[in-house]
Structure formats: C-alpha cells, structure tokens
Amino acid sequence: MLRHLCLTLLLSLSSAGLSAQEPAIDTLYFVVRDGIVMTAQGHAIAMDFNEDGKFEGEAAGTSFAGTYRLDGAQLCTTSQLAASETCTTYPEGMEPGDEFEVVSPALGSVRVRIRTPEENRAAAAGN
C-alpha cells in the first residue's frame, strides 16, 4: 500500500512538473502571430509583428517600423515614433477577435483588438 501511494505521488509530481514546463499560449502569442489594430486618440493603428523581433505599422496613412521584445506580460517596442523603448502590459487570456484596453506610457489608454487569422487571409487576398 505504501509503495502504491509513493508511486502515485511520484507520478503526480512528475506530471505537474511536465505541465509547468509547457509554454503557455497567452495574449502576446496571438498579438505577435496575428497582429493588432489599436485605437489611440481617435486613430486606428494596424501593427504586424515578425518573428525576428521587428514590427511594422500604419497610422493615418503613414507607415512606421521598429523592433519589439516580450518581457513577461509586457510588449516593449522601439521605433522612430518614440524617443525610447516603451513597454505596455497586456492582459492574460485574450485571443484573436478579442478587444481590450491597455495603458501605453506613450499614448495613454489604448483600445486593442487582436486580428483574426480570417481577417489576415482576407487582407492578403486583397493585396
């Protein structure tokens, strides 16, 4: 009986350790994969992120580009639009199509919508 209990405990601990090592699919995963449309100060800003740490966007017909990095739940960006790196905390549990508020150090309160894969396919077909 004691042997069975020890084996059960060992298996439960090892499976807990395995699940803790699995990468979480979180909000920033979808932000980087699918891109976003943010609304700040009445302007819609579309942004696309590349796996190499670069991003590009468009606001009011003006294109811009920069670099990004992920730091926990924060998306940190640097571009010609900001004098220094800015980091914005994103909420957990958001998926493509979700819309939510974040507070940007540079822009204040910003509404963010994660684009869906369907939107991206439709946009690609239109180009």
Q: Listing from the earlier edge strand, what are the strands of the sheet with 54-59?
A: 86-89, 74-79, 62-71, 54-59, 43-49, 36-40, 108-114, 99-104
Answer yes or no: is 18 within a domain.
no
Q: What's the pTM value of the predicted model, to 2 decimals?
A: 0.76
- The helix/strand/coil state of 108 is strand
Answer yes or no: is 83 within a domain.
yes
Q: What is the pLDDT of residues 8-24, one digit of tens each?
A: 333 333 333 333 444 45
Q: What is the pLDDT of residues 60-75, one digit of tens each?
A: 899 999 999 999 999 9
Pairing type for strands 108-114 and 86-89 reads unpaired
Answer yes or no: is 58 within a domain.
yes
Q: What is the pLDDT of residues 38-52, one digit of tens each?
A: 999 899 999 999 999
Q: What is the pLDDT of residues 84-108, one digit of tens each?
A: 999 999 999 999 999 999 999 888 9
- Residue span of the structural domain in which 75 resides: 27-126
Looking up residue 120, the CATH number of its domain turns out to be 2.40.128
- Please tell me the total count of domains within the chain: 1
Q: What percent of the chain has pLDDT over 70?
A: 80
